[in-house]
Structure 1
């Protein structure tokens, strides 16, 4: 069973993934940490301290106490078994001497805009997949479009390298790019030669380069499906490709079973979507210790207002307003509760968001300690002159709601 060879009509889709993005941005700021294990995920108290001799004193993972998690880590830290999503206390046992830095999302967003602008100068058809990754349609980019036969592969590689060079010139950062006929394979390919990799895979390379990989390398096969496949003796993508489509459908359902067969054979017709509207925006934080609504009222009130302020900033910066404002609470027993309030008109200003979120709090039993708090805006709409006029009037009328909160609203 050999995959078909590429033709002149083959699409060329790139997946670009910035290398250890947050950590790499921090290394631009602190070049003395290059080559060291560095973990990003600390708080304000983990800011480096400038010493009298001009050097910096950095926080170390071994001194961390709390329940925070790793946002990202440098490759030397990853070599020690540390990875994103891991609890910082657990990471401290594996890499106690690793440097711990606080997150700086404003700076990461700035570099995100820089690298995407650099890519757009070479190839404008971009699908934004987050702060550090994008898909790019290279099919009709000059240098690819005109090339034919084997020269076409050379043209694809040259354009991908030009993109990498442009990103580095604009940011000083490296990225890894996978280029294949579709998004599914490109997502896999971009991770095969990290960091600073460039991997080009054609349909004819599927059996040699993709099939030996574990099934979990396919984006869309999670832990549950992976465990079920393993129980059936299917561990590699090649094992999956050897299964009959109807056999997979019988065991995983008509839709997912058919998708598993297609994915293992490198079939993916999804286009690069250059624009999509977000469904919601949210901000949340996990506390380093459980907080009580009464005894820690001032702290919770401050954090709650800061989250609302960050959410308002996100909405305004991206040009959206939300009609549904919600909250998310996780208690010390890990029970999670959400509450939503739909407003007569959409909002994006801090006072209105804080007021609506406070109304949601009235509908929650706050007798247990809290470990997580979040706020969310849903039912999003693009800002228009009408909406902005409403927001301006609402903001003027309710500005006191933040600095001098309504006494009837709970502040924990």
Structure 2
């Protein structure tokens, strides 16, 4: 009786994905610090045909960095950093707006290229996947190199890939030799390559847990591996302590989840400046309609309909409210989503300026594509308070997000 093949799990992570897609469009920016973020940062064409790119030092407004090239990261600019702080660190960096439609396009291309090798893929987001290579006859280094070549041929982009005995090690390993890395890890490599790393490199050990471990004198994965189980249990509880002890030894038995049903789909936008429900009605209405359309497009593209439509509003004082409405029948239609979202917005107070607006559809179920209908009718911001407070705004309970 033959023994099952040892597990070979690969984690593939696209290199600086959003920024790399932009460099395909603007190859003249290769080798320069480039930051993706902001809204009004599109390059302008000069009379002589050349492009004039915005600089980070000229950025005005709030917002966060979506991503950055490795040259910008060398200057200290990373994703989720505030744009104003990034401008202080790299004032001469090129600034480009995010183009999520383009990123989703290239995401589909690289995933299709990998799927030609095996269907055993777990989707982890727009720029990363796990791949089960256990049943493939090829040597790990060979199949990983072929996958990398296929991704580059399909997209023009580089990726980093690690093949390891489990998802935990593969995820850590794909970061070790970036960019364009190919890493092979075995259990014998754990003391040399994993134990010197900070504990925060382990997916699942967040900032708070890292801080608590640091207070115990535990800074690296190796130090965690040498920490007595009773010490971990006294500070983290039995379940999490047991998990910490396992991951420090590189143990991870989680299977690949090659198919899972999404629970919801949502879109939201943070405005460059706080918008007034009445004075900025056209801008809010346009953003509201665009969010409904984008959620509908996501549902139709992935073949789902939803039973519940919800909205999320964040005021200028950072207070956040959500409202939901369950429909009599599921939908993926932009007009239906907009109408339901409108009813949700009518149930929240609109006396303060808004900094964020979001639309969500949940209670999803697979369905055949639904023909879209044109958006029409009034939007909730058309009769914002100030003129008619009796329109039902401000009624209903509150729920924080």
- TM-score for the superposition, normalised by structure 2: 0.92
Task: Output one character per residue of 1:288-317: Cα deviation in whole Å (capped at 9) or x when no partner.
Answer: 111111221221111111111111111111
Deviation for aligned residue 1:105: 1.1
Match of 2:105 in 1: 110
Match of 1:241 among 222, 225, 228: 225
Match of 1:19 in 2: 15
Match of 1:294 in 2: 278
Distance in 2, Cα, partners of 1:371 & 1:305: 16
Match of 1:150 in 2: none
The question of 1:71 aligning with 2:66 is answered: yes
Match of 1:86 among 76, 81, 88: 81
SS in 2 for 1:233: coil
Distance in 2, Cα, partners of 1:407 & 1:374: 14
Deviation for aligned residue 1:9: 4.3
Distance in 1, Cα, partners of 2:31 & 2:280: 41
- Number of equivalenced pairs: 383
Partners of 1:358 and 1:409 within 8 A in 2:
no
SS in 1 for 2:21: helix
Deviation for aligned residue 1:245: 2.8
SS in 2 for 1:169: helix
Deviation for aligned residue 1:51: 2.2
Partners of 1:361 and 1:410 within 8 A in 2:
no
Match of 1:32 in 2: 28
**Structure 1 residues 178 and 8, CA gap change in structure 2 (3 angstroms):** same
How does 1:245-324 map onto structure 2 within 5 Å? Answer: 245-324=229-308
CA RMSD in angstroms comes to 1.8
Match of 1:178 in 2: 162
Distance in 1, Cα, partners of 2:92 & 2:381: 49
Match of 1:370 in 2: 354
Deviation for aligned residue 1:343: 1.2
Distance in 1, Cα, partners of 2:244 & 2:130: 22
How does 1:38-77 map onto structure 2 within 5 Å? Answer: 38-43=34-39, 45-77=40-72
Deviation for aligned residue 1:137: 0.6
**In terms of mean alpha carbon deviation, does 205-214 or 48-57 score higher?**
48-57
Gaps of 5+ in 2: 386-401
**Structure 1 residues 23 and 210, CA gap change in structure 2 (3 angstroms):** same
Partners of 1:214 and 1:236 within 8 A in 2:
yes
SS in 2 for 1:221: coil
Distance in 2, Cα, partners of 1:251 & 1:408: 50
SS in 2 for 1:239: helix
Deviation for aligned residue 1:404: 2.6
Distance in 1, Cα, partners of 2:309 & 2:4: 50
Runs (4 or more) in structure 1 with deviation over 3 Å come to 406-412
How does 1:117-196 map onto structure 2 within 5 Å? Answer: 117-143=112-138, 155-196=139-180
**In terms of mean alpha carbon deviation, does 343-352 or 115-124 score higher?**
115-124
Deviation for aligned residue 1:243: 1.9
Partners of 2:285 and 2:381 within 8 A in 1:
no
Gaps of 5+ in 1: 1-6, 144-154
Task: Output one character per residue of 1:224-251: Cα deviation in whole Å (capped at 9) or x when no partner.
Answer: 1111111111111111111233432232
- TM-score for the superposition, normalised by structure 1: 0.89
**Structure 1 residues 407 and 168, CA gap change in structure 2 (3 angstroms):** closer
**Structure 1 residues 411 and 157, CA gap change in structure 2 (3 angstroms):** farther
